[in-house]
Amino acid sequence: MNIMGNLQQVGRALMLPMTVLPAAALFLSLSQLPWSAIGLPFFNGYLATASDALFSFLPYLFALGVASGMSNNAGAAVMAALAGMFIYTGITGSYSDIPIRPTVLIGVLIGLFAGFCYGKLKELRLPEWLHFFGGPRSVPIVVSGVSVLFSILMIGIAPLIQNGLEHLGEIVASAGGFGVFLFGFVLRILVVFGLHHLVSHVFWFQVGGYETASGVTVYGDLPRFFAGDPTAGAFMAGLYPTMMFALPAIAFAIIHEAREDLKPKIKKTFFSAALASFLTGVTEPVEFAFLFVAPYLFIVHAVLSGLVMWITYELGILHGFSFSAGAIDYVINAHLSTRGWLLIPIGIVLGVLYYVMFRWAIRRFRIPTPGREEGSQLDEWAGDIPYRAPLIMQAIGGKENIVQMEACITRLRLRLNNDKLLDINALRNLGAAGVIKLGSGNVQVVFGTYSELIREEMVKVMKRDLTQVSFCSPMQGRMIPLEEVPDPIFAGKLVGQGVAFMPERGELVSPVKGVVVHVYPTMHALGIRTQEGLDVLLHIGIDTSQLKGKGFHAFVKEGDEVKPGQLLVKFDLNKVRQDCKSLATPMVISNPDAVRSWSYGPFKAVKKGQASVMSVVLNKRENGEDSR
């Protein structure tokens, strides 16, 4: 794995423990309510203690979360990280002349090492008499031993590290507003690569120290904010106007610049994306809608984000969040903020600026944002994920191409054997807002907040031993449901189940790998039998047999082996359009009894040979048994 691949895995691992922070912030806010007025006087203490406990054990949570993320949820790595944290806390707490408490940085380091050891030692082979301690069982042993040495080392260098972190905080503070601007700018740029958690983690959990009333020192802008540090929150406050107002404004600009025929669908999709950004601070679905078609606008967006952070810094605004800078966190943590109310008017002004700027840019430079071209890069997912998972897997290159698959909040993080097998256009048609190749097989596919659900469904598909056949598009044009074919035999599925296409070019290619079993004398239709035993009928147009082969030329004959994308027939598109009932070209399975289930891609524009238009699961399992 290359450096970018390692970094994206670390970035994803850092997100897992952060999911517990909203609970801590919520408990802290609820503890301020007058519980005694409703006869629950002890609830204030219970909730405050729950919040303090989560923040106190944050290093342990990061150790476990990072180890889990780096090892693909391996229990041995998680156990090793926990053992390492116990050892570190025990040794440094007992033998140090100065109080040393585990920090988030220590948790991350031990978690990273546990995950690294698991990757290197999980297949360790020892002599038979010693092999009980081989493989994954060796990981806790090695991590524990290294943790002892690491703890002893830390006793000697902890004072230097503590002073270094505090000094780093002073350096950052001395940079003033420019330092905050630079942080905001870099943060937005790194969103493109999914590495923004690396830089945010440093400022939110490491830079700057604050000693609480109980004598405990906490580090980082986020823990200091919730611990009551009156100077904390500068590296979080300026994100609220961007996420609550600027990104939703972009979404509305995209909606209003969409074509009238596509506007209803775009409105529904991007209103949801705008709401997600406003409420939760999840911005990728909106940002990736214009990132690839107008990268220069993304640079402008990153600069403006940094400038807003600079402005909030100069105005003395301090605010924080436990998850992200959305309205939910804004309201919950408002009582801890300093001049936090100013973020609302700043956000409104910024939102208007973004809306006007993006509408002007989209129209002036004819930017093909979703809705200004056929189809949308974002689509409806609720209830549809189980049906699209097989198609997404096909577009990724099949389960054999997947080495590792994880998901963070907004994207699938994949390591593939061959990233050249990716069908990026198919992934976008299946709902991906963007696809990012990081090299050496490391790929990110941005699906928004449904990414984890997509991963779960894909894992289910990978674990099944069912036989699955995937279909490419047999022609360039528009994919339509079989029911829309103007022929009662095909529309009534009397010939078989499947889909149809409205061609834009006079070429028919093979949708599957198989053998040509029949070519009609008039060459307007042919049959292919796949190696799994499916009989596929391709019928060019409706009532085209009356042309008696005029305008058709077959490039294959019965008995020929074909592969997906191979040219089968060329035909005169204009002649078929003028002399026949319809151009609709059905692709049906003529032995549907062999099929257990069907999955279809979105009924929209497709290219010749495009993957992931239809997938079927057969009744026969891979081992030859019947699955019914």
> Which tokens sit at 394?
């096909």
In whole angstroms, give the CA distance from residue 535 to residue 437. Answer: 37
Residue type for 285, please? P
| 472 among known catalytic residues | no
Pairing state between β 525-530 and 402-407 = unpaired
* 477-481, strands of its sheet edge to edge: 561-562, 514-519, 525-530, 535-539, 585-589, 497-503, 477-481, 605-606
At residue 416, φ and ψ (nearest 5 deg) are -115, 155
Choice among 117, 408, 472, 580 that is catalytic = 408
Q: Which stretches does DSSP call E strand in 520-565?
A: 525-530, 535-539, 552-554, 561-562
Residue 541 Ramachandran class (φ > 0 left, ψ -120 to 50 alpha, else beta): left
CA angle 3, 8, 13 (to 5 degrees): 125
For 382, the 3-state DSSP assignment is coil
Q: Which of 388, 384, 447 is nearest to 414 (CA)?
A: 447
Longest dimension (CA), the chain: 96
Q: Which of 242, 324, 244 is nearest to 278 (CA)?
A: 244
CB-neighbour burial class of residue 265 (10 A; exposed 0-12, middle 13-18, buried 19+): middle
In whole angstroms, give the CA distance from residue 189 to residue 212. Answer: 34
Positions marked active-site: 408
